[in-house]
Amino acid sequence: MTNVENQAPASMWRMSVAPMMDWTDKHCRYLHRLLSRHTLLYTEMVTTGALLHGDVPRHLRFEAEEHPVALQLGGSEPSDLAQAARLGAQWGYDEINLNCGCPSERVQRGAFGACLMNEAPLVADCVKAMVDVVDVPVTVKHRIGIDKDESYEFVRDFVGTVADAGCRVFIVHARNAWLKGLSPKENREIPPLRYEIVARLKQDFPELTIAINGGIKADATVQDLLQQVDGVMVGREAYHNPWWLASWDALYYGDASVEHTRESIEEQMVAYMEREARTHGTHWYSIARHMLGLRNGLAGARRWRQVWSNHQLKQLPPSEVMRLARTKPAEAALAA
């Protein structure tokens, strides 16, 4: 496979929801896809070990409606990554992404994630091994540096080396990863955001697709960043405030064809919960946990969230939970 065959339009990365372990599972992505037709969605990171020695359908199953969806892999062994990437492509993922940004100690012990930024030639080998066996784009998500080294040259050389191996798309979390002394959560908050480094990468590599990530919470920031780079990836804000996604098709893809309401989204999620229960035995509770922020900022949001997260209602069918969630507290007290 050549680089040219491995290309896709840069617009594919204009808006995306970040890979987030334990959060962006297939149920979460189903919700996000109802809210936005065009936004690119990422899986949680799946390690090559889990995929090559584990339950493949459990890790890779997704709904046809989820496209476009990218599989994020964690690993550092080129032949394992090639095998895992091939599986991902066979299962129909639209992109294979390599995690070079996760700073967790567990991931470091496995010698992948952010510590791979110190080993650009190895990442290049990994990318090449994957590019050779799949015809969907192989992309890399990384940080702007490691520990306290804030030199631009470090990330520039990393991108240059990996690009030479056939990676055309880089998703850059605009902070360093401090490999010692910070938890993963702190590593998403404490190292300072430096968007200008990512903008500089785009200037130096105009032929590459560069998407920016980290701390983006508002349309004004998205619009400003889209003047400088090709795409914006949103993580926590998309998860906690999923309704934001409902405006993205119109704002960022010029597609105003569908107007959602929170009620219609909730109803479609209930239909999905019923289908998942029938076909896979999934409990509605493990789906509903991803939509608890849907009504954030509206009157009644607290009660709605409490009902959908109430363990004691687990035996009820989701349609009944929806009815309760929509009932005003006074009416609920009368009915009790």
CB of 21 vs ligand FMN, minimal distance in Å: 4
Q: Does the protein bind ligand FMN through residue 191 (CB under 6 A)?
A: no
- Using CB under 6 A as the binding rule, the residues of this chain from 253 to 292 that contact ligand FMN are none
Q: Identify the residue among 6, 13, 19, 26 touching ligand FMN (CB under 6 A).
A: 19
Q: Does the protein bind ligand FMN through residue 45 (CB under 6 A)?
A: yes
CB of 331 vs ligand FMN, minimal distance in Å: 36
Q: How far is CA 323 from CA 35, 206, 242, 318, in A?
A: 21, 52, 21, 9
Name 135's Cβ contacts closer than 8 Å, sequence gap at least 6.
1, 5, 6, 89
Quick one: which segment of 12-20, 59-67, 85-93, 284-292 binds ligand FMN (CB under 6 A)? 12-20
| Residues flagged as binding site for FMN | 19-21, 72, 141, 173, 213-215, 235-236
Phi/psi at 243 (5° precision) = -60, -25
Q: Does the protein bind ligand FMN through residue 48 (CB under 6 A)?
A: no
Enzyme catalytic residues: 102
Q: At what angle do helices 120-131 and 152-164 cross, to 10 degrees?
A: 30
Token pair in block for residue 35: 């809210």
Q: Does the protein bind ligand FMN through residue 103 (CB under 6 A)?
A: no
Q: Does the protein bind ligand FMN through residue 125 (CB under 6 A)?
A: no
Q: Identify the residue among 67, 156, 236, 289 touching ligand FMN (CB under 6 A).
A: 236
Of residues 291 and 321, the one with the C-beta less far from ligand FMN: 291
Q: How far apart are CA 113 and CA 101, in angstroms?
A: 5
Contact 291, 318 (CB under 8 A): no
Q: Identify the residue among 6, 16, 99, 176 touching ligand FMN (CB under 6 A).
A: 99
Quick one: which segment of 153-161, 235-243, 278-286, 322-330 binds ligand FMN (CB under 6 A)? 235-243
Quick one: which segment of 161-169, 214-222, 306-314, 324-332 binds ligand FMN (CB under 6 A)? 214-222
Q: Identify the residue among 102, 129, 162, 270 touching ligand FMN (CB under 6 A).
A: 102
Q: Does the protein bind ligand FMN through residue 95 (CB under 6 A)?
A: no
- Using CB under 6 A as the binding rule, the residues of this chain from 153 to 182 that contact ligand FMN are 173
Q: Does the protein bind ligand FMN through residue 142 (CB under 6 A)?
A: no
Q: How far apart are CA 287 and CA 267, in angstroms?
A: 13
Q: Identify the residue among 16, 48, 83, 213 touching ligand FMN (CB under 6 A).
A: 213
| Residues flagged as binding site | 19-21, 72, 141, 173, 213-215, 235-236
Residues pairing with 170 in the sheet: 140, 210
Q: How far apart are CA 301 and CA 290, in angstroms?
A: 14
Q: Identify the residue among 18, 51, 229, 313 touching ligand FMN (CB under 6 A).
A: 18
Q: Does the protein bind ligand FMN through residue 242 (CB under 6 A)?
A: no
**CB closest to ligand FMN, residue no:** 235
Q: Does the protein bind ligand FMN through residue 139 (CB under 6 A)?
A: no
Of residues 34 and 116, the one with the C-beta less far from ligand FMN: 116
> How many CA atoms does the CB half-sphere of 154 hold within 13 Å?
16
CA nearest 131: which of 97, 171, 161, 157? Answer: 97
Q: How far apart are CA 299 and CA 188, in angstroms?
A: 31
Give the interface with ligand FMN as residue ranges (CB under 6 A).
18-23, 44-45, 72, 99, 101-102, 141, 173, 188, 213-216, 234-237
